[in-house]
Amino acid sequence: MTTTEIAATTQLPLVSDPRNPGLPLDMAWVRAATANRSAIERRCASLPARRSVKKDYQAAWLLKAITCIDLTTLAGDDTAERVRRLCAKARQPLRADLLAALGFDSLHTGAVCVYHEMVAPAVAALKGSGIPVAAVSTGFPAGLSPFALRLAEIGESVAAGAEEIDIVISRRHVLEGNWQALYDEMRLFREACGEAHVKAILATGELGTLKNVARASLVCMMAGADFIKTSTGKEAVNATLPVSLVMIRAIRDYYDRTGIRVGYKPAGGISKAKDALVYLSLIKEELGDRWLQPDLFRFGASSLLGDIERQLEHHVTGAYSAGYCHAAG
């Protein structure tokens, strides 16, 4: 895929699929889900070496990656001004001269992701851009606040204008094998979101086994999650290729059985352009081209865009700039 082809597909209006309505909890399906760690790790280890793209093709895929970034700031010292700068970056992630050289008139990220307190300034800064605001919710990142407050937090963010809600599941339900409790919790989160799309953060680094990841993925999809997401970015271990492969195959299994497409979002630790290329190739091989659109695939990232910019500038000019030339906002 060349930059011209990427430009054409990126600038076409996107026809989204129907939302995932969910289905009753199917414990036979959940219990049948498993994961062969050694086979998964072999598959993931082979991917970076086998799927390398260069020159125009690499530039094209990096442009695609930009459209799938949830540009994120989740720091305790966030301010409205920082969020406004981040939103300006989301609106124009590349310099105008680089965009022109790559065959684009315009380009923007998939979303901007913030805490609830920053939803209002983000919505104001993105007005008219078509870029949605995603809010982390439900006691992010631990998810251990009182349940009524977690539901109320969703409602507050939706009322403030968030179009996507990134919720965190209760990890204890997975670790205890209490799949009914996880399903019921996720179902209530989905209902509280209303028209806002819900991304279920599994916090996979805290779930113990890949089998647990597979089962938690299925349960959240059965309960109506529009996306499943690896991590909060605050755990010791965040997005990894083995975890991603397990979650992606759960999505594929769900689609094969129901005909409903659910999105995928790896988050935390993806900061290099070369890593983005590997994730995109994994999605293409396991799920197909339809999942390479921002309504079904996102990177949760804060620094990834800077490295992609740097690589694209090198592609256009033949010279590398310093990393500090590509601030997030």
Active site residues: 166, 229, 265
d(CA 183, CA 277): 33
Q: To 10 degrees, the CA torsion angle through 211, 196, 85, 304?
A: 20
* Burial tier of 206 (Cβ tally within 10 Å: 0-12, 13-18, 19+): middle
- For 248, residues 6+ apart whose C-beta sits below 8 A from its C-beta are 264, 282, 283, 286, 287
- For 119, residues 6+ apart whose C-beta sits below 8 A from its C-beta are 133, 135, 157, 160, 161, 162
d(CA 139, CA 150): 6
- For 299, residues 6+ apart whose C-beta sits below 8 A from its C-beta are 65, 68, 69, 70, 265, 266, 267, 270, 276, 279
Q: Comparing C-alpha atoms, which of 288, 225, 298, 292 is closest to residue 262?
A: 225
Q: To 10 degrees, the CA torsion angle through 139, 179, 37, 230?
A: -20
Structure tokens at 121: 């300034």
- For 45, residues 6+ apart whose C-beta sits below 8 A from its C-beta are none
Q: Is 261 helix (H, G, I), strand (E, B) or coil?
A: coil
Q: Which strand (E) or helix (H) includes residue 124? A: helix 119-125
d(CA 304, CA 272): 6
Residue 117 identity: E
Q: Which strand (E) or helix (H) includes residue 298? A: none
